[in-house]
Structure 1
Amino acid sequence: MNLSAKKKLILGIQHVLAMFGATVLVPALTGLSTSITLFCAGLGTLLFHLVTKRKVPVFLGSSFAFMGGIIAVIGDSRLGDPDFIDKLSAVKGALIVAGLIYVLFSILIKLVGYEKVNKLLPPIVTGPVIIVIGLRLSSTAINSAFYYNGAFSLKAVFVTVVVLAVVIAISVFARGIYNLMPILFAIIAGYLVCIPMGFLDFTPVQQAHFFSFMDKDIIAQILALPTFKADAILAIAPIALVTLIEHVGDITTNSAVVGKNFMIEPGIHRTILGDGLATALAGFLGGPANTTYGENTGVLAVTKVYDPSVIRVAAVFAMLLGILGKFGGLISSIPGPVSGGISIVLYGMIASVGVRILINNRLNFGNSRNLMIASIIVVLGIGCDSIPVTSTVTISGLALAAVVGMILAAVLPEGHDSVLPREE
């Protein structure tokens, strides 16, 4: 599909809106800078595209998996506290090490070959894992959509219904360029509906600087040199071993949505390398670890526009939002019921892609092996939030489900009826 510059611009803005809420939530919870985080997300995405030959339509945003480790190092310290910069420097060093772990694994995968990775992740594992990726996020979407200030709100439900109605109507009935912009139109409609309901809060706009990087506090965080402290590295860097599995799942999802096997071309070793270098770069500048974003894969599934250049437009916008504080503040003012309504669609689309993988590979769920593997992956992935390994390191339920699924698929014999016969 040949897209004009205008269409790419609009589609890029949609991707920014999709990733914004989750990306800025990580610094809000950890004490890191929102402006630096947005800038690192955009810059890391551009670096990822450079490493992956500009072929993979992936956006890199803040990783939630690393939050526990970052909080363990920073604690309750916040900007302005005398020990904050020292703790931030330790976080920087640990995230650089985490990024280098990605780089090491990308080299190993390049040496042993993609086929070994593919055997570890057959469709009976990747399909349910992708379903889990979407469904694990569903509670977040519902909480944003139906609740306001922690309480159930009929007004919030009304806004969510309006947002969903607009997304559905434009996706199904609109034609031409309008069919490519259901999320953007839904956000505008939801924003307008929120005005008379008192959901809008322009405090983020009022408090934001016009140019974020003129703020001396932000400059101090960028210039803080990384320190490599053992306790911080042990709290943060091992999490990369978990997120590597999530990365493979996300790239598999993206491949399924686009209809191209990015595991082969440009290669999973390149996508892991790009993710790792982006994480190390974000760590050096003072942002959180980066990761491939399912929200933006959901946008791809809704719009059916897979041009990677659109993601690069979004990356540039994210960098501008990091620099131009007022614009970032405006997007921050989007009410929860609006973003929640959009998230219901995006996360549901991700889960549906997992179902599509199972159907396209004609997996037989009358086969006990398939049924057992899928069942255990889904329950572990959704039912288990995380498992503590040490006082500071946890393994996510998604990673646990993926590992157990890979083990079961490797040890359980594959019967002749595992795959349904094709109809003549």
Structure 2
Amino acid sequence: MKLNTRRTLLIGLAFFSICAFWQMYDHIIPLILRDTFGVGDSVSGWIMAADNILALFLLPLFGRLSDRTNTPLGKRMPYIVGGTACSALLIGVLARADAPGRFPLFITALGLLLVSMGTYRSPAVALMPDVTPKPLRSKANAIINLMGALGGIYALGAISLLVRAGADGRNDYGLVFFSVAALMVVSIVALAVVVRENKLRRENADTEPEPEQGKGEKLPPEMMRSLVFILVSVALWFMGYNAVTTAYSRYYTAMWDNSVAGAANCMMIAMGGAVLSYIPVGIISSKIGRRRMILIGVATLAVCFALAGLVKTFNLAVYALFVIIGFAWAAINVNSYPMVVEISHSGDVGKYTGYYYTFSMAAQVLTPIVSGWLLEHVGYQTLFPYAAGMVAASFVTMLFVKHGDNRPGAAKNLLEHYDVEE
């Protein structure tokens, strides 16, 4: 059984555009809140948590709704197309609202944009397991995450190259907003034109012996226990990683160097490390197992965050550290979502996708608030120790996960892991 790489790359366009948006959001919105509107770190943390609060409700809701949707476009595609169109328009409004005195407009546009993004993330992610046989989902998820990393790199590159100095001395992010909105529109148009969801779903149903069996049924107790522990693990490592991604631009400019572009470059290097790692991680995971690969990634990430906390002056070694961070995050991300949907019944993929995002987003609701309070009231030096502790805790909980692992037979050579034919 081979993975159709071309098809998976096309399906990954949705996640590509989503990750470009969120990378821009995490990097730019805290700076706008601070520099344009004078919002403090604690309040900024609450605002940055708003997307995750909304996601707690929106992602499971729209995951379930898309499970029950049947249209000529498919189950997931109507949400992907509609959500992207609304989001691109609202990004334009947000760019216009980045000016002193426009805080009510900015917050209103931001709130609507977060709702719009929340309507289609679960459907976009659920599209991959819908059309991919279970044994190939780690490899497919490696490609999906590769696409997501490329989207993040695109956004970071736009920030590094397109941020201009405004007439009032503030940074002008207008071109960055426009470039990301344009990317989202182009990506989803290409996805909608080329990918025929219903056709691909029928083809996958032929390879799955019981495509809809068990829909809505309860899991056996031992599988439920594994599901709970992996979801808790997801929450913990997202608490650590998201604390860094949401505060890193502020940490970098406060502790190391007053340069927005420099902060973007570090995160871009981490993304580069992930990009180089996704495909090898997918292949290695098929040999040693998803759970073991996650444990390697979690241990590596915790050590890297602890080491980053010891760096007092920025130096070139930080770049190497961020490459390793990229690898570690790839090892975790490639395998965690496939483990969750492996436990699910095939007719409930959208629902279990919602569970996955409920726990990841719940963590991201809490962590900007807690880490934001620590940054403001204790100091920026708390960021990396906090992140390392959370990630280390997820290592312990992952030890209790006994289901969701899958080890397909090894291919004879590297190329047989990925098939590019239709």
TM-score by length of 2: 0.33
The structure whose RCO (Cα within 8 Å, separation 6+) is larger is: 1
Higher helix share: 2
